[in-house]
């Protein structure tokens, strides 16, 4: 990608792009999520809706060679990248393609189940959390993050305006999905599923994003390139990327980077 051109077409997209460009935003939340389930050496942990495996990869050194790490996701392309990019640390991570409401594990397998930014996409949250509860051992921990509402998240607000302006008539509905999870809905479903001791709190990090001239177009293309191209072709994607950068211009420092606040809701429970 030409520096500063706003073109996004050379950047990796799809799951490879997700793993590359979403990583800076997800990284601090992974640490918080794993802290919340208090992983110890020897523990067995499931990364539910693992995507390309950010959380599973971070869990592996915490549980160590006597622990076990599993990742499950319904999207085979996400799981392919998770397997490709797993650095083969010990313990090995077993990534599986399966839906969250039909988990291929015996009852009470896991000391901890974690789910980063996945629950808001589950078509039947109650059924998925019932499965999570089934595979969590008595006394085991559950933790999930979902994005907090957009109003205090300037980067996502800038993306939303660009996606809504250039992404066609369904863009607003698609963009709303990742922000549709709520602590109330999750804790209610967790209790119904058989978890207790539910709690939730907001977690905010100032994330130092890479130079925005290159990062913002690549990240936009990874998440929303398909929708925007379908609505208006490559030119629409270039304009949308420029709109993201223009909205954030006053936050960019001399080296081109920007440190922006991101907020998630962390929900925890005990089986
Ligand atoms: C925003 S991504 C989050 C991925 C990863 N946890 C992360 O932190 O980057 C949401 C993931 O949920 C997965 N997903 C959505 N519905 C699912 C379901 N019913 N069962 C399993 N995975 C699901 C998607 O395939 C996608 O990988």
pLDDT value of residue 13: 81
pLDDT value of residue 152: 87
What is the per-residue pLDDT across 157-196, written as a single tens digit (0 to 9) for each?
Answer: 999 999 999 999 999 999 999 999 999 999 999 999 999 9
Q: How far, in Å, is the centroid of ligand 1 from the Cα of 119?
A: 8
Q: How far, in Å, is the centroid of ligand 1 from the Cα of 178?
A: 10
Ligand 1 pocket mutation, candidates 31, 45, 51, 189, criterion most atoms within 8 A of CB: 51
Q: How far, in Å, is the centroid of ligand 1 from the Cα of 9?
A: 25
pLDDT value of residue 10: 64
Count of beta carbons in the 10 Å neighbourhood of residue 138:
8
Residue 220's nearest CA partner among 2, 3, 9 is 9
Ligand 1 pocket mutation, candidates 115, 121, 203, 266, criterion most atoms within 8 A of CB: 121
Q: Which atom of ligand 1 is nearest to the CA of 78?
A: 27
Residue whose CA is at the smallest distance from ligand 1 atom 1:
117
pLDDT value of residue 22: 93
Ligand 1 pocket mutation, candidates 74, 119, 127, 180, criterion most atoms within 8 A of CB: 74
Topology, domain 14-270: Rossmann fold (3.40.50)
Count of beta carbons in the 10 Å neighbourhood of residue 201:
12
Rounded CA gap, 159 and 193, in Å? 35
State the number of CA atoms in the 13 A half-sphere of 173 facing the CB. Answer: 3
Rounded CA gap, 251 and 209, in Å? 11
Q: Which atom of ligand 1 is nearest to the CA of 117?
A: 3
Residue whose CA is at the smallest distance from ligand 1 atom 4:
51
Per-domain boundaries in the chain: 14-270
Specify whether the CB–CB gap between 29 and 116 falls below 8 A.
yes
pLDDT value of residue 1: 32
pLDDT value of residue 8: 44
What is the per-residue pLDDT across 4-21, written as a single tens digit (0 to 9) for each?
Answer: 334 445 667 889 999 999
Listed in sequence order, the residues at least 6 apart from 30 whose beta carbon sits closer than 8 Å to its beta carbon are 54, 55, 58, 116
Residue whose CA is at the smallest distance from ligand 1 atom 27:
51
Q: Mean pLDDT per segment of 10 residues, for the chain of length 271 residues?
A: 42 87 95 97 98 96 95 97 85 94 98 98 97 98 96 96 96 95 96 98 97 96 95 97 97 96 98 98
């Amino acid at each position: 990608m030409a520096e500063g051109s706003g073109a996004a077409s050379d950047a990796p997209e799809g799951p490879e792009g997700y793993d590359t460009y979403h990583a800076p935003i997800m990284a601090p939340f992974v640490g918080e999520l794993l802290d919340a389930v208090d992983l110890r050496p020897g523990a067995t942990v499931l990364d539910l809706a693992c995507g390309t495996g950010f959380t599973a990869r971070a869990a592996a050194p915490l549980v160590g060679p006597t622990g076990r790490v599993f990742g499950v996701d319904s999207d085979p392309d996400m799981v392919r990248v998770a397997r490709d990019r797993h650095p083969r640390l010990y313990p090995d991570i077993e990534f599986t393609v399966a839906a969250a409401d039909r988990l291929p594990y015996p009852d009470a397998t896991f000391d901890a189940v974690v789910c980063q930014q996945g629950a808001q996409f589950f078509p039947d949250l109650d059924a998925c959390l019932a499965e999570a509860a089934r595979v969590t051992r008595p006394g085991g921990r559950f933790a999930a993050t979902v994005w907090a509402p957009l109003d205090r998240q300037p980067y996502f607000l800038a993306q939303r305006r660009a996606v809504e302006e250039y992404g066609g008539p369904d863009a607003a509905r698609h963009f709303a999905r990742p922000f549709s999870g709520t602590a109330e809905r999750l804790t209610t479903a967790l209790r119904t599923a058989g978890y207790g001791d539910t709690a939730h709190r907001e977690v905010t990090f100032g994330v130092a994003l890479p130079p925005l001239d290159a990062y913002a177009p690549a990240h936009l293309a990874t998440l929303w390139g398909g929708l925007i191209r379908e609505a208006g072709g490559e030119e629409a994607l270039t304009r949308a990327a420029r709109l993201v950068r223009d909205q954030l211009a006053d936050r960019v420092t001399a080296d081109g980077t920007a440190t922006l606040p991101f907020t998630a809701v962390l929900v925890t429970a005990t089986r």
